[in-house]
Amino acid sequence: MSFDSKSFLKTLSVKPGVYRMYDKDGALLYVGKAKNLKNRVSSYFSSSGLTNKTVALVAKINSIEITITGSETEALLLEQNLIKQNKPPYNILLKDDKSYPYIYCSAHEYPLITHVRGKKFKSGQYFGPYPSSLAVKESLSFLQKVFRLRNCEDSYFNNRSRPCLQHQIGRCSAPCVGLISKEGYQADIHHAQMFLQGKNTDLIKDLNIQMKQHSINLAFEQAALIRDQIQYLRKVQESQSIDAEQGDADVIAIALEKGICAVHVASVRHGRMLGSKSFYPKFKMDESPEQALAAFISQFYFILNREVPDDVIISHEIADLVVIQDALKEQKGKKVKVSFSVRGDRSRWLQLANSNAQEAVRLKQQDKLHILSQYQDLKEVLSLSELPTRMECFDISHSHGEATVASCVVFNQEGALKNDYRKFNIEGVVAGDDYGAMRQALTRRFKKVTEDKKPDLLLIDGGKGQINIAKEVLEQLELTDIPILGVSKGVTRKPGMEVLVYRGKEFTLDNHSPALHLIQQIRDESHRFAISGHRARRAKARGRSLLEGIAGIGPKRRKELIRFFGDAGQVKSANVEEIAKVPGISRQLAQDIYDALHDS
C-alpha cells in the first residue's frame, strides 16, 4: 500500500519541528527539520521541480513521523541527535572518529609540554585545537628547538640521574638534573605559552629586553641563546603571513562539483592559522552548496562535538544562519558570530579555505577518474560482463603458526570500504596450515552472506592451492557465481612480477597495467591489515612491548630507544627523522620501525 500523502499533509501542523521518513520495513530513511512542518514536508510531494534523488526518496516512503518543537533551534538540535543515533542513508553523513589534538602544558613544577587528544581531564593548560597531528608535531618541534622544553613523562623525569639525549641535541634544558633553575624554566614555559597564544610581537619585545639585560651583565652566552630564539621567532613570523593581531575562528568553505563535495575547515586561534583539514561528506540528495554547508556545520559541531570558536566564517550564505548561530550559542554558552561576508584578515582566511576546498574537489575528481580507469582495465583483462562494484581480498598472517589471523578487506569504485573490513582469529587449525586457515576464514565470512554484501570478485593472496580451497568453500555454500582471482607473488617475489590465477589459467600483466596496480593496492592493503591483526594478537598473548617483534630490533636497540624517548609510546609518536637520531639506528631502520608501529 502506497503512502497517502494528501491525507497526511492535511493533518500537519505549521509549527517548527522534526520529521522522520520510514520505508515499508520500518527503516529510517531521512530526518529533517522545518520552521513550518506543513510547508516543508509538502514540498517533497510537489508534482514538479523535484530532483531525481528526491523522487527516489519519496518513492520509498511508507510513513512519516512528526515531532513538534518549541523553536527552530530546538528542531536543529533534535535533528542532529537523531542523525547521530540512526545514521539515515539519505542524510548527509560526516564521518570522523578522531578528536582534534591539542598541545598540553602540565601543571608540574617543571611543566611537560606534549600533544594529547580527547577530553581535557588533566590539570594544566591546553592550546588548540589543531586540525591534524602534523600541525601539532611541527609546533612542538619548534618549541623544543627554541625554548628547550621537556617532553618526557613525569615517571621518566623523576628518575633521571643524568641528562638524556634530548639535552645533548639541544632540545631540552635538562631540568630533571638541575641544569636550569626553576625560575629559568618557568620563563621558558611562559614564553612558549605566549607563542601558542599568538603573542609573537610581545614575546619578541620581552626577549629583546632580556637579551640587553644579559649583555649589560656580561652574560654573553645567555644573550646569544636569546638572540637565536628571536631569530627563530622572526622566521616563523615571516612564514606565517596568515597571522593577524587577533582572532579565534573556524573558517569553513565548501566546493561542490559533479557529485563530489569537499569542505575545507581552517582553524585560527589567537589570530594564528594552526592548520586545516578537508572533509568529504556523503549525501544521496541533490543538495545545493548552501544546504550541504548548513548540514555540515550542524554535524561538525553538534555530532562530532568540535570546540566552538567565537567566530565561524563560511563561504556561502545559508538559510538557517540565525538558527545555527543560536544553537552554537547554546552549545558554547556565549555568543557565537556566524558570518559569510568578511573583510581584512578574515577575507584572506576565507579565500585560502575556498582555494583549498576547490583543490580538494579537483584532486578527488582525478582520483575517481584514475580508479575508474583501473576498474575498466580490470574488466577487460578478466573479461567481466560489468565493472565490479564490490571486491574482497583475503590474506593470512602468522609467525611460524603463532597467533594466526586472516584479513578481509573490501573495495568499491570509490576505494576502500573500511567499515566492511573484517579480521578472523583462526582457531583449531594446525599451526602453519595456511589452507586450513583460509578455509575457516572464507567459511565464516560467506556462510551468512547477504546479497548486498556479496562480492563481484574475490581476490585470494596465494596461488592454485589457496584458489582450490576458495572454490571448495564457495561450492559448499552454493556461491559458485562469485569469480575468484588468485594473486601469487611469483618466483622473484618482486612487485610487478605477480602471477595471477583466474579460471584455471596463470598469467602476468605488464608492470604499467592499471588493472595490476589496482590488484596490487588491494592485495597490499589485505596484507597490511592481516599483519596488523596478527601483531596485535601476538602482542596481547605475550604481553610484550610494542617494540618487540620488529625486525632488526633486539634488546640493545630497544634499550636505546627507551632511553632516548622514555617509553614505547613516545617512540610510536615520533617521526622517522627523530627515530634516526637514536644511536645505532640508521635512517632505513628508523623507517622500518616507524612502518611497523603504524601499520594498523
Cα torsion through 525, 378, 260, 60, rounded to 10: -100
Domain ranges of the chain: 5-86, 106-239, 249-362, 391-539, 544-597
Closest by Cα among 360, 318, 356, 294 to 92: 294
Taking each helix axis from N to C terminus, what angle separates 133-147 and 220-239, rounded to the nearest 10 degrees? 150
Architecture, CATH, for domain 391-539: 2-Layer Sandwich (3.30)
Pair 51, 11: CB distance under 8 Å: no
Pick the CATH number of 5-86 from 3.90.1150.10, 3.40.50.620, 3.40.1440.10, 3.40.1010.10: 3.40.1440.10
186 contacts: CB under 8 Å, gap ≥ 6? none
Phi and psi at residue 213, in whole multiples of 5°?
-65, -40
pLDDT score for 242: 41
Give the chain's mean pLDDT. Answer: 83
Q: pLDDT tens for residues 80-138?
A: 878 878 888 888 766 654 566 788 888 888 998 888 876 666 788 888 777 667 667 77
Cα separation, 344 vs 339, whole angstroms: 13
pLDDT score for 492: 63
Is 90 exceeded by the pLDDT of residue 422? yes
Closest by Cα among 502, 565, 568, 599 to 165: 565
CATH code, 249-362:
3.30.420.10
pLDDT score for 235: 57
Q: Are strands 457-461 and 415-416 parallel, antiparallel or unpaired?
A: unpaired
DSSP readout, 247-268?
--EEEEEEEEETTEEEEEEEEE
Can you say whether the dihedral through the CA atoms of 490, 492, 493, 497 is positive or negative?
negative
**C-alpha grid cell for residue 255?**
566546493
Architecture, CATH, for domain 544-597: Orthogonal Bundle (1.10)
Which stretches of 391-463 are DSSP H helices? 434-446
Q: pLDDT tens for residues 196-209?
A: 776 767 777 777 88
Domain 249-362 and domain 391-539 have a common topology: yes
Is 70 exceeded by the pLDDT of residue 600? no
Phi and psi at residue 241, in whole multiples of 5°?
-65, -15
